């Protein structure tokens, strides 16, 4: 089968790992890079052998024959590039968060729906090997009726050292890691019907919140709590691992430090490690996250080829962003927010 040709738009920190992950898959080829600072694109092109670079996005789209666009620019430009993809009749893969606010994100989805162009969000967190293994336990039915779950992403990683711009964000942890964690909650336990959130700022030299606690009542009556923090010091301080817990009527399960998966039922206790695969190109501190890009890309490539269904479409990711911004609303008002789904309305507009 002829390889699918794509271009990457934006050649910052994340693009190197995104490109390396695409190269792990057969049947896909990066043929061009765009960056407004052309020298950055040239450096990445030289490293990976990409033949052409541009500092003009329109010129790239006029000159290159593409099957899709991979958008890895900052969130404030996502709508611009997704609209550009729609204008040229191209599917778009867009980094998370999809948009800086719900209005923008909804407009992006509508733009692609009206033109009949697929929009995929590169939400790779749920594709981590240990999280997929935990999901298999949940789906097995061995735990009986699920009562409640918990997600802990809490560590003391100095995230502001290598990304100092995060200090200046008015909204930080919920839009940064919260998009991942709340999407993981949806992936594991389904949709939420109500939500309550509290936030804190522990680092005194930042604008936004660096601690958030979100409690959700899911539509299947499961209660889920999501704890997020970049200001916590634990015995097991394992950036960037996500710890998971679930209680069921017939047993429980946990995903703990160093990828330890434990299952407890009346038949006894089982324990095994579920580490991610190793790739030489992955950054040592981010290996868990970077390895998940490969499986996320594989899922999106299958959908692009018409051979499978993408898990993280624009329509689906809107539901995650609704949780993120409902959490801010809840924290600001100190109230429980009853949620209503708007994506069904959007889907009905598809032409």
Would you say 155 and 230 are in contact if contact means Cβ atoms under 8 Å apart?
Answer: yes
HEC letters along the chain = CCCEEEEEECCCHHHHHHHHHHCCCCCEEEEEEECCCHHHHHHHHHHHCCCEEECCHHHHHHHCCCCEEEECCCHHHHHHHHHHHHHCCCCEEEECCCCCCHHHHHHHHHHHHHHCCCEEEECCHHHCHHHHHHHHHHHHCCCCCEEEEEEEEECCCCHHHHCHHHHHCCCCHHHHCHHHHHHHHHHHHCCEEEEEEEEECCCCCCCCCCEEEEEEEECCCCEEEEEEECCCCCCCCCCCCCEEEEEECCEEEEEEHHHEEEEEECCEEEEEECCCCCCCCCCHHHHHHHHHHHHHHHHHHHHHCCCCCCCCEHHHHHHHHHHHHHHHHHHHHCCCEECCCCHHHHHCCCC
The number of angstroms, rounded, from the C-alpha of 27 to the middle of its chain's C-alpha atoms is 24
Would you say 322 and 102 are in contact if contact means Cβ atoms under 8 Å apart?
Answer: yes
249's tokens: 């009527």
Would you say 7 and 59 are in contact if contact means Cβ atoms under 8 Å apart?
Answer: no
Would you say 339 and 194 are in contact if contact means Cβ atoms under 8 Å apart?
Answer: yes
List domains and CATH numbers for the chain.
4-125+297-314 (3.40.50.720), 128-275 (3.30.360.10)
Q: Is the bond into 152 cis (omega within 30 degrees of 0)?
A: no
Interatomic CA distance for residues 241 and 237, integer angstroms: 9
What sign has the CA pseudo-torsion 77, 79, 81, 82?
A: positive
Interatomic CA distance for residues 121 and 138, integer angstroms: 25
pLDDT of residue 13: 87
Other CB atoms within 10 A of residue 197 CB: 27
pLDDT, tens digit, 9 for 90 and up, residues 67-116: 999 999 999 999 999 999 999 999 999 999 999 999 999 999 999 999 99
Q: Is the bond into 308 cis (omega within 30 degrees of 0)?
A: no
Interatomic CA distance for residues 192 and 327, integer angstroms: 12
The span from the first CA to the last CA of the chain, in angstroms, equals: 29
pLDDT of residue 263: 98
**Residue 56: CB partners within 8 Å, gap ≥ 6?**
34
The one-digit pLDDT tens for each residue of the chain (351 residues) are: 799 999 999 998 899 999 999 999 999 999 999 999 999 999 999 999 999 999 999 999 999 999 999 999 999 999 999 999 999 999 999 999 999 999 999 999 999 999 999 999 999 999 999 999 999 999 999 999 999 999 999 999 888 887 888 899 899 999 999 999 999 999 999 999 999 999 999 999 999 999 999 999 999 999 999 999 999 988 788 899 999 999 999 999 999 999 999 999 999 999 999 999 999 999 999 999 999 999 999 999 999 999 999 999 999 999 999 999 999 999 999 999 999 753 344 344 333
Please tell me the pTM assigned to this model: 0.93
| Pairing between β-strand 119-122 and β-strand 92-95 as defined by DSSP bridges | parallel
pLDDT of residue 349: 39
- In total, the chain counts a number of residues equal to 351
């Amino acid at each position: 089968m002829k390889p699918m040709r794509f271009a990457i738009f934006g050649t910052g920190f994340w693009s190197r790992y995104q490109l390396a992950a695409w190269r792990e898959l057969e049947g896909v080829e990066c043929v061009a890079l765009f960056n407004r600072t052309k020298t950055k694109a040239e450096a990445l092109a030289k490293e990976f052998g990409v033949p052409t670079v541009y500092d003009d996005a329109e010129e790239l789209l006029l000159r290159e024959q593409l099957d899709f666009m991979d958008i890895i620019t900052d969130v404030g430009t996502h709508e611009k590039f997704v609209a550009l993809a729609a204008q040229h009749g191209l599917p778009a893969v867009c980094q998370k968060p999809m948009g800086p606010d719900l209005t923008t994100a909804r407009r992006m989805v509508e733009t692609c729906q009206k033109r009949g162009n697929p929009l995929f969000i590169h939400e790779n967190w749920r594709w981590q090997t240990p999280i997929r293994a935990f999901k298999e336990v949940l789906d097995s039915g061995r735990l009986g009726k699920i009562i409640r779950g918990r997600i802990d992403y809490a560590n003391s990683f100095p995230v502001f050292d290598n990304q100092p711009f995060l200090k200046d964000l008015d909204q930080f942890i919920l839009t940064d890691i919260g998009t991942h964690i709340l999407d993981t909650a949806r992936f594991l336990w389904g949709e939420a019907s109500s939500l309550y959130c509290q936030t804190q700022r522990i680092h005194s030299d930042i604008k936004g919140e660096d601690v958030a606690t979100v409690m959700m009542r899911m539509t299947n009556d499961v209660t889920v709590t999501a704890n997020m923090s970049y200001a916590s010091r634990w015995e097991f301080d394992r950036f960037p691992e996500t710890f998971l817990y679930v209680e069921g009527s017939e047993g429980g399960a946990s995903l703990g430090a160093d990828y330890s998966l434990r299952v407890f039922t009346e038949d006894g206790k089982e324990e095994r490690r579920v580490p991610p695969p190793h790739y030489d190109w992955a950054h040592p501190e981010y290996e868990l996250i970077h390895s998940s890009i490969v499986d996320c890309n594989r899922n999106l490539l299958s959908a692009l080829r018409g051979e499978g269904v993408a898990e993280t479409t624009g329509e689906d990711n809107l539901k995650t962003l609704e949780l993120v911004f409902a959490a801010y609303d809840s924290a600001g008002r100190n109230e429980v927010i009853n949620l209503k789904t708007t994506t069904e309305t959007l889907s009905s507009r598809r032409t």
